[in-house]
Amino acid sequence: MPEFTNGRHLVKEYPSGYPIPGRTTAYDTSAKINTDSVSLNGGILAKLLLISVDPYLRGRLAGYTPSKFALEEPLAGYGIVKVIRSENDKFHPGDILYGNGRIRHEEYSIITKEEAEHVVAFKPVDGIPLSVYIGAAGMPGLTAFTGLKEYGNVKKGETIFVSTAAGAVGSMVVQIAKKEGLKVIGSAGSEEKVKFLKELGVDVAFNYKTTDTREVLQKEGPIDIYWDNVGGDTLDAVLENTNEHARVIMCGAISGYNGEPAIVKNLMYTIYKQTKLYGHLVGPLLSKYQEAFDKDVIPKLADGTYKHREDKVYGLDKASQALLDVLKGANVGKSVVVVSED
Amino acid sequence: MPEFTNGRHLVKEYPSGYPIPGRTTAYDTSAKINTDSVSLNGGILAKLLLISVDPYLRGRLAGYTPSKFALEEPLAGYGIVKVIRSENDKFHPGDILYGNGRIRHEEYSIITKEEAEHVVAFKPVDGIPLSVYIGAAGMPGLTAFTGLKEYGNVKKGETIFVSTAAGAVGSMVVQIAKKEGLKVIGSAGSEEKVKFLKELGVDVAFNYKTTDTREVLQKEGPIDIYWDNVGGDTLDAVLENTNEHARVIMCGAISGYNGEPAIVKNLMYTIYKQTKLYGHLVGPLLSKYQEAFDKDVIPKLADGTYKHREDKVYGLDKASQALLDVLKGANVGKSVVVVSED
pLDDT tens per residue, range A273-318:
999 999 999 989 999 999 999 999 999 999 999 999 999 999 999 9
Inter-chain contact A267–B262, Cβ cutoff 8 Å? yes
**Torsion A64-A68-A70-A72 (CA) sign:** negative
User: What does the alpha-carbon distance between residue A240 and residue A270 come to, in Å, rounded to a whole number?
Assistant: 9
> Would you list the DSSP string of B151-206?
II---TT-EEEETTTTSTTHHHHHHHHHHTT-EEEEEESSHHHHHHHHHTT-SEEE
pLDDT tens-digit series, residues A65-104:
668 899 999 999 999 999 999 999 999 999 999 998 889 9
Q: Is the peptide bond before A222 cis (omega within 30 degrees of 0)?
A: yes
Inter-chain contact A276–B279, Cβ cutoff 8 Å? yes
Which of B65, B270, B281 faces A250 most closely, judged by CB atoms? B270
Of the candidates A142, A76, A112, A181, the one whose C-alpha atom is nearest the C-alpha of residue A280 is A142
pLDDT at res. B129: 94
Cβ(A123)–Cβ(A96) below 8 Å: yes
Q: How far is CA B293 from CA A29, B118, B168, B318, B326, in A?
A: 68, 19, 16, 31, 25
Averaged pLDDT, B169-181:
97
Q: Is A332 helix (H, G, I), strand (E, B) or coil?
A: coil
Name the pairing type of β-strands A204-207 and A183-188: parallel
Using a CB–CB cutoff of 8 Å, tell me whether B280 touches chain A.
Answer: yes
pLDDT at res. A254: 65
A342 pLDDT band, cuts 50/70/90, is confident
User: What does the alpha-carbon distance between residue B191 and residue B306 come to, in Å, rounded to a whole number?
Assistant: 21
Inter-chain contact B263–A263, Cβ cutoff 8 Å? yes
Using a CB–CB cutoff of 8 Å, tell me whether A270 touches chain B.
Answer: yes
pLDDT at res. B255: 63
Inter-chain contact B264–A268, Cβ cutoff 8 Å? no
Which of B231, B275, B279 faces A279 most closely, judged by CB atoms? B275
Using a CB–CB cutoff of 8 Å, tell me whether A20 touches chain B.
Answer: no
Inter-chain contact B64–A268, Cβ cutoff 8 Å? yes
Instruction: Enumerate domains of chain B plus CATH numbers.
Output: 3-135+309-338 (3.90.180.10), 139-283 (3.40.50.720)
Q: Which of residues 123-142 of A touch B (CB under 8 A)?
A: none
A247 pLDDT band, cuts 50/70/90, is very high
Distance from CA of B130 to the nearest CA of A (A): 28
Chain-centre distance of CA A241, in angstroms? 27
Mean pLDDT of chain B: 93
Inter-chain contact B261–A262, Cβ cutoff 8 Å? no
CB contacts < 8 A (A, B): 108
Cβ(B251)–Cβ(B143) below 8 Å: yes
In chain B, what residues touch A277 (CB-CB under 8 Å)? 267, 270, 276-278
pLDDT at res. B1: 57
pLDDT at B108 over 80: yes
Using a CB–CB cutoff of 8 Å, tell me whether B235 touches chain A.
Answer: yes
Inter-chain contact B278–A274, Cβ cutoff 8 Å? yes
A329 pLDDT band, cuts 50/70/90, is confident
Max Cα-Cα span within chain B? 70
B330 pLDDT band, cuts 50/70/90, is confident
For residue A264, what is the nearest residue in chain B, using CA coordinates? B264
Using a CB–CB cutoff of 8 Å, tell me whether B288 touches chain A.
Answer: no
Torsion angle, alpha carbons of A43, A45, A51, A56, to 10 = 30
Distance from CA of B224 to the nearest CA of A (A): 14
Helices (H) and strands (E) counted in chain A, each on its own, are 10, 17
pLDDT at A1 over 90: no
Per DSSP, A47 falls in state E
pLDDT at res. A59: 83
Inter-chain contact A250–B262, Cβ cutoff 8 Å? no
- How much is the CA Rg of chain A, to the nearest whole Å? 20
User: ipTM higher than 0.85?
Assistant: yes
Averaged pLDDT, A53-72:
82
